[in-house]
Amino acid sequence: MSFYEERILPHVINKACSLGQVMKLRSQLVPRATGRVLEVGMGSGINLEFYNPDQIDMVYGLEPSEGMRRKALPNINRSPVHVEWLGLPGEQIPLQDNSVDTVLLTFTLCTIPDWHAALLQMKRVLKPGGELLFLEHGESPHENTRKWQHRINPGWKKLAGGCNLNRHIADLIRHVGFELEELENLYMPNAPKIAGYIYKGVARKPETERNP
């Protein structure tokens, strides 16, 4: 990784992803995690304060950035939740099939280069009936905002560490065979509409596996 990606970008991302309204949304979703949890794109460990330690066995933190893992140390040291780092990208999850109860995705799916491979990996390691909890920004349903998302996405990706503004998160999750159980969409207050259209919800891995 470049100096910018390893030393500067982690601070920028951490700041943007820990604003008040973002934290409020995290606090509504993360406590629903149970059992053995895989958090994909754990970053600086922002979500750790919201886990309910009474219903968590442990958290696998998938985070390829060494800069982010260094930044997470204070949050890990304060947390009662046991964290085990997995230093690989989302397309290469080093866990066994059907081995976790919950997968957590918060502002991560926008950035993973091969979202399809990554979501298939998440479904592979999730137990049948297990839950995928997601909080992501993505494509707006409103034509003018969506037009600008597509227009500026190439330049935005270069500055924002590969982040895409224009992925329809719910469709991506459905595409690989997850059953979408809950979905809430909203514009995040005080955020630019191009980057603030939110997908928050719960999807489930079917009890009987289907090929996407």
Q: Which helix (H) or strand (E) holds 91?
A: none
For the whole prediction, is pTM greater than 0.75? Answer: yes
Cα separation, 4 vs 196, whole angstroms: 24
Cβ 81 vs Cβ 26: under 8 Å: no
pLDDT over 90 (residue 88): no
Cα separation, 135 vs 144, whole angstroms: 23
Of 208, 204, 43, nearest in space to 126 by CA = 204
- The CATH H-level superfamily of 3-204 is Vaccinia Virus protein VP39 (3.40.50.150)
Q: What is the tens place of the pLDDT at every residue in 5-57? A: 544 444 445 445 555 688 999 999 999 999 999 999 998 999 999 999 999 99
Task: Calculate the alpha carbon distances from 117 to 19, 37, 109, 139, 189 in Å.
Answer: 30, 19, 11, 20, 32
